[in-house]
Amino acid sequence: MRWPSLSGTLLIERTQAGLSRAKAQGKQLGRPASLSADQQHIVRERIASGETISAIARQFNTSRQTIMRIRNQA
């Protein structure tokens, strides 16, 4: 069994500390949303009105999965 080296452990600790610090400063981590909050609101309205997921995805030039993720967040 291999044990992680001291430098590897330090790297992990520093990375975690940096992530924690960024979160504490209110920075958003991860990939940016493909649709803005306003666009997401419009997507939810169109789903509620009965428009198909595929049609909405085509109109916003995004994937069906993105639209379904927005639907499931509501």
Average of per-residue pLDDT across 7-32:
90
Q: Is the pTM of this model over 0.75?
A: no
CA distances from 54 to 2, 19, 50, 71 (A): 49, 37, 12, 13
> CB neighbours (10 Å) of residue 61?
8
Model confidence at 9, in pLDDT bands (50, 70, 90)? confident
Q: Is the pLDDT of residue 70 over 70?
A: yes
